[in-house]
C-alpha cells in the first residue's frame, strides 16, 4: 500500500492535539526553557508553537493538570507545578484492578517512608532540618487540638520528603498517603495518643539530624507500624440527644 491515507499510513500515526500539546510542554522542560514555578505562554501562543488548535491546547493542559504537572491560576495563567503531585484516584483504580487492598497500600507506604527518611538522614540541609524541628514543636504545642496536630504531622512528613531530595519518591508517597487518607476513620485520638505520636516524630527527627540512616529507617518504620488505623481528626458536630430529638412536647387537653 502506498500513500499516507491508508489504515496504517502516517496520517493515522499523527498524535492528537492534546498529545501534541503534552509533547511540546515536555520538550520545553527537557530544553530547560521552563521549570518548576514557570508560567507557560498563553493558549494562543502555545497553540502556535505546538501546531494545534486552542481547543487542543486546553485539552492537553487539562491532562497535564490531572497529572499534577501544571496548575492553572485564575487571571494569572498556567504554571509548571513547583512540587510534583500524583492523584490518589488513579492509584485507587489501579489498586482495585489488581486486587491491592489496604495492607498492600500500607506496605508501599512503609517502604517509601523508610527509604525517604534514610535519604533525608544523608541529604537534608540545615534549613530542612530546622523545618522538621519546627513541625515537631508544633505537634507538642497542639496536643489539645487534633486538627492543628494533624496539620503539623502532615507538614513534618513533607519536610522529611523534601529533605530526601527525590521529588519522584516524594510524589509517590503523597499519592499513597492521600489514598489511605480517603478511608480515614477509627476512634477519636486522645491526648495520650497524640503525645505518643509526637514522641515518635521527635525520634525520627533526631535520627535524621544525627545523620543516623539506620535509626531513621527504624524509627520511621515503627511510626508507620503503630499508625495502623488513621485517626479520625475530623471536627465533631454536636448531636442532639436522641430523646430530645424524638420527643415531642406533650399536648394538654383544654380545661
Taking the domains of the chain in order of start, what are their residue ranges? 17-80, 88-226
Q: Does domain 17-80 have CATH number 1.10.8.50?
A: no
98-142 confidence digits (pLDDT tens): 677 778 888 889 999 999 999 999 999 999 999 999 999 999 999
pLDDT at 83 over 80: no
Average pLDDT over residues 167-196: 79
Superfamily of domain 88-226: GntR ligand-binding domain-like (1.20.120.530)
Decide: 39 and 77 in contact? Cβ < 8 Å: yes
> Given pLDDT bands bounded at 50, 70 and 90, which one contains residue 181?
low
In whole numbers, what is the pLDDT of the chain averaged over residues?
Answer: 81
**Weakest mean pLDDT among 18-22, 180-184, 230-234:** 230-234
Decide: 85 and 174 in contact? Cβ < 8 Å: yes
Torsion, Cα of 159, 38, 73, 75 (10° steps): 150
Cell numbers of 247, please? 420527643
CA distance 109 to 180: 9
Regarding predicted confidence, which is higher, 230 or 101? 101
Amino acid at each position: 500500500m502506498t500513500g499516507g491515507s491508508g489504515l496504517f499510513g502516517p496520517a493515522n500515526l499523527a498524535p492528537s492535539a492534546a498529545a501534541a500539546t503534552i509533547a511540546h510542554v515536555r520538550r520545553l522542560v527537557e530544553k530547560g526553557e521552563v521549570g518548576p514555578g514557570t508560567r507557560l505562554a498563553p493558549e494562543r501562543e502555545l497553540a502556535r508553537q505546538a501546531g494545534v488548535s486552542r481547543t487542543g491546547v486546553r485539552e492537553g493542559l487539562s491532562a497535564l493538570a490531572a497529572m499534577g504537572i501544571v496548575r492553572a491560576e485564575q487571571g494569572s495563567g498556567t504554571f509548571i507545578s513547583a512540587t510534583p503531585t500524583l492523584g490518589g484516584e488513579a492509584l485507587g483504580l489501579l489498586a482495585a484492578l489488581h486486587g491491592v487492598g489496604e495492607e498492600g497500600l500500607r506496605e508501599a507506604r512503609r517502604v517509601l517512608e523508610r527509604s525517604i527518611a534514610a535519604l533525608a538522614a544523608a541529604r537534608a540541609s540545615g534549613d530542612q532540618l530546622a523545618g522538621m524541628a519546627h513541625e515537631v514543636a508544633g505537634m507538642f504545642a497542639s496536643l489539645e487540638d487534633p486538627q492543628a496536630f494533624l496539620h503539623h504531622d502532615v507538614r513534618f512528613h513533607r519536610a522529611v520528603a523534601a529533605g530526601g531530595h527525590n521529588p519522584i519518591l516524594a510524589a509517590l508517597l503523597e499519592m499513597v498517603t492521600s489514598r489511605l487518607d480517603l478511608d480515614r476513620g477509627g476512634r477519636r485520638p486522645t491526648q495520650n495518643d497524640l503525645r505518643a505520636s509526637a514522641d515518635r516524630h521527635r525520634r525520627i527527627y533526631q535520627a535524621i539530624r544525627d545523620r543516623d540512616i539506620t535509626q531513621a529507617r527504624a524509627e520511621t518504620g515503627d511510626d508507620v507500624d503503630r499508625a495502623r488505623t488513621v485517626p479520625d481528626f475530623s471536627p465533631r458536630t454536636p448531636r442532639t440527644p436522641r430523646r430530645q430529638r424524638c420527643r415531642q412536647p406533650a399536648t394538654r387537653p383544654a380545661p
